[in-house]
Amino acid sequence: MTEKSITIREALSSALREEMQRDERVFIMGEEVGVWGGTYAVTRGFLDEFGARRVRDTPISEMVIAGSAVGAAMAGLRPIAEIMTINFAFVAMDAIINHMAKVHYMFNGQFTCPVVIRTTTGGGKQLGATHSHAPEVIFAHFPGLYVAVPGTAYDAKGMLKAAIRDDNPVLFVEHSTMLQRRSAVPVDDADFVLPVGKSDIKRPGKDVTIVTYQKGLEWSGQAADLLAQEGIEAEIIDLRWLRPLDLEPVFESVRKTNRVVVVEESLPHFNVGAEVAAQVMDQAFDYLDAPVKRVSAMDVPLPYASNIEMMALPDAQKVVKAVKEVL
């Protein structure tokens, strides 16, 4: 198998292209996906390659983008609906939660809903309070929907292909500041597909378990480097999916490290860390030598001014501090 270093953006593009080539029923719809080429340039060239039937520009209408994807999927197509940023998914909340996530259940399995909603998340770009959320955890609250949060090019490719091939609806969340990140990705295997709902140990260690995903991988990786200089070995577990949530590797790691820190960009109330802490207590309480610690954004809307925006977000130093508190 040949591997090549590519960016997350390239990984996403190649996953989309391969799946559209594989299955005629797969098509893309959303704001600026066609003529513009995608606001993050993921679908650049797709309109020429696949035509306007399969690369469909929509008006700025998130309710009908999400809702018509549901109908098309129920009727047998496999839509990839792009919501430009996850902030706009709030507008489509009813279509996503009340319809996309539920039509399979409430009609007792008569319909399936193989929709992928691709969207971008994350703050840190001075976009102000309404454009800087990392709220993917909200969507993971609801049964019926999967939530993917890839943090590397390798994962982005294998997980997007998995999402497209799965018969369940998937909210596929990409981090807007990580699209240029590179990693080695198989390039000559059209069936390179990662499993749905599997977390991944990104860095082995024995002293503390850091549970994180996406942007948190970067803060945690930097923190782990700093901690290593002091002889502290952090194990970093990348959740990759917030639903299905695979915490088995976390429980196993806790039995070894006896300490857990959860790192994420979302807000502190009812966040990923809260769920992980509860489940670790339930499954591995006797192995804990310290309370589970959470590192997240501060409990404020994100401001415009860069210095206070960065103050509100996690960083490597905050992770280091949290780790030292549990050691």
Catalytically annotated residues:
62, 131
- Shorter beta-carbon distance to another protein: residue 53 or 269: 53
Interface with another protein: number of residues (CB under 8 A): 41
Q: Whose structure tokens read 């009609």?
A: 107
Among residues 106, 278, 281, 311, the one that binds another protein under rule CB under 8 A = 106
Q: Is 36 in the site for another protein (CB under 8 A)?
A: no
Query: Residue 170's beta-bridge partner residues?
Result: 116, 146
Q: How many CA atoms lie within 13 A of 11 on its CB side?
A: 30
- Asked whether the beta carbons of 149 and 278 are under 8 A apart, the reply is no
Q: Is 103 in the site for another protein (CB under 8 A)?
A: yes
Among residues 3, 39, 77, 301, the one that binds another protein under rule CB under 8 A = 77
Helix (H, G, I), strand (E, B) or coil at 85: coil
Which of these segments, 105-113, 224-232, 254-262, 315-323, binds another protein (CB under 8 A)?
A: 105-113
Q: Is 28 in the site for another protein (CB under 8 A)?
A: no
Among residues 143, 188, 269, 305, the one that binds another protein under rule CB under 8 A = 143
Q: What single-letter DSSP state applies at residue 99? A: I
- Shorter beta-carbon distance to another protein: residue 98 or 222: 98
Q: Is 34 in the site for another protein (CB under 8 A)?
A: no
Tell me, residue by residue from 45 to 74, as one string, x for binding to another protein by CB under 8 A and - for no binding. --------x--x-xx-x-xx-xxxxxxxxx
Q: Is 231 in the site for another protein (CB under 8 A)?
A: no
Q: Nearest Cα to 180, choosing from 198, 156, 196, 202?
A: 156
Helix (H, G, I), strand (E, B) or coil at 128: coil
Q: Nearest Cα to 115, choosing from 124, 104, 123, 125?
A: 104
Helix (H, G, I), strand (E, B) or coil at 160: helix
Q: Is 118 in the site for another protein (CB under 8 A)?
A: no
Amino acid at 23: D
Residue 265's CB is within 10 A of a number of other CB atoms, namely 29
CB of 186 to another protein, least distance (A): 27
CB of 60 to another protein, least distance (A): 9
Alpha helices, DSSP H, located in the chain: 8-22, 46-50, 62-74, 86-89, 93, 103-106, 136-139, 153-165, 215-229, 248-257, 272-284, 306-312, 316-326
Among residues 15, 83, 84, 95, the one that binds another protein under rule CB under 8 A = 95
Tell me, residue by residue from 147 to 186, as one string, x for binding to another protein by CB under 8 A and - for no binding. --------------------xx------------------
Using CB under 8 A as the criterion, which residues of the chain lie in contact with another protein when the complex forms? Answer: 27, 53, 56, 58-59, 61, 63-64, 66-77, 79, 94-95, 98-99, 103-114, 143-144, 167-168
